[in-house]
Structure 1
Amino acid sequence: MTVPRGQGDRRGAPAGWSAPERALEAGIDFDRANAARIYDYLLGGACNFAVDREQAAKILTQNPDMAYVCRANRDFLRRAVAWCLDRGIHQFLDLGSGVPTVGNVHEIALAHRPDARVAYVDFEPVAVAHAHEVVDGLETVSVTRADMRDPDAVLGAPGVRDLLDPALPTALLTVAVLHFVPDPMLPAILARYRAALAPGSAHVMTHGSADHDDAELAARTRAIQDGYRGSATEVVLRSRPEIHELLGGNALAEPGMVDIVDWPAPDPEARPTGGYAAIALLP
């Protein structure tokens, strides 16, 4: 399979990078593909390197539906943000936010509410650098480079602490990220984030899984997992009970935990992705 080249190459930053982006380049792992940059490539972006495109080609060989799955995740994110806004949640903490693309969280939120606040958090230098460039000049949007596995560091970072009002409901967004976190303490980590949120907040999640009644769908999802092997961000496929545990036993907004394309309503025209979507309601 031939993979088209993006704007960057393996040894240099993508064309057009600003000075802060070049400064961050020192922290980029050029030797192993990264989920944020693979995701960017599969969505048609240019903030990726040859190693990411090579890994993407491997993933697409394993499961040609992978680009479709990425788009479905992005479409769900837009629907979920709009759902939160309609219910009076105007603050967003986006963990593992990745490379901002068209229709990202702050674009949707600010279109509905000019005073909405969005705190992006990611650890991948390319994603963070590009996000800084995209949101430059927006007073109600911040970008923080931090490891989401350290909630105290994230919640105490100026971009989060000084932007989000702890007295107001917040949407915790963990979309297409948790299956890249193998940490056995992940349920406790997410509980720490939820404990810091005001009543009326929500936890928005998507997560890949091979726990399906459809054996073919389960096999396609396992193929995606195989495609990420050898990258810096390998995939952990959790079962439905394990994914429920990540939501802390909180009540789920209707229709509960369903395939990404079927939230908030079944789409008979869309083929399933193998990933689950849910929004937990915090009391």
Structure 2
Amino acid sequence: MKKLIAIPLILLSILTLSACSSKEYDIVTSLFPQYDITRTIVGDKDLTYTLLLNPGVEAHDFEPTSKQVVMINNAKLFIYTSDEMEPWAKNLENNKTTFLNLQLASNEDHDHAHAESISYSTTDEHEHDHDNLHYWVHLYNTLHMIEVILEEIIHLDEKNVDYYTNNANNLKERVRAISAKFDQISALETKQLHFVGHNVFSLLNEEKSLNIQSLTDSFSPDADPTSTQIQAMLNQIIETNASYVFYDPLETVILANTIKNDLKSKGYEITLLPLYSMHNVSKSQFESNTTLLDLWNENVENIATAYDLELI
């Protein structure tokens, strides 16, 4: 009798675990920027969404697990960054799921969009957008990402078009407000800023007349900096009389502190400030519902601090 009772319980446990492991979402996103834009536009409506990356995980080398592949294939919409960032994505395409290559779609929307009231510092910047891996670290591109994601969300739930459009418009206005803060910095004489990390901010440099110098020229954090590169940054920090040095909170905290301590041993004091590349967020940030615009705001405030500027 005990064996007969045990068998149904085992089957029930298997079914329960199976159900948990096959949770389905309407929208799956690969990186934090598209996840947060989706979250903001969807608001309190019924569409479900998720982020593939666990909080704190490095994005460049990420590949989905078999469970996550099933999740993607069961979704109505999969929003991924680009074929360069997620080369595995194009191999998963199927007839059920709409695969949105956000970089390609944003570029197409960019080419056909109405003019936006965001300033530019160079005339050839758009040509770089098509080739730059970190295209989301750019305010004008962020506006186009919002437009593209909004369009796909409306396709999934047309009855709430006004609600989604209103959320997207509010988000775009807040992006423009951040852009205006950067313009206050752009109006000043350009200052060399030092970033302990890989080459993330080249587009933002062009867009907002900044001079953020990365420790390495690599577009990926995989390449460890050489002793020559570290020594060159140490020299530049001293030569430019920099009081602040920036670092990536998810990637280069230890290295940034090493540089700080090395300078301190030479009698040179600096303050470390975070500068977010926005691929992902930490576990504590994710749990506290930190938004993409929270990261942008902290970035512009920290850069203003390095300029000794109080933003209006």
TM-score (norm: length of structure 1) = 0.35
Larger Rg over CA atoms: 2
The answer to which structure has the higher helix fraction is: 2
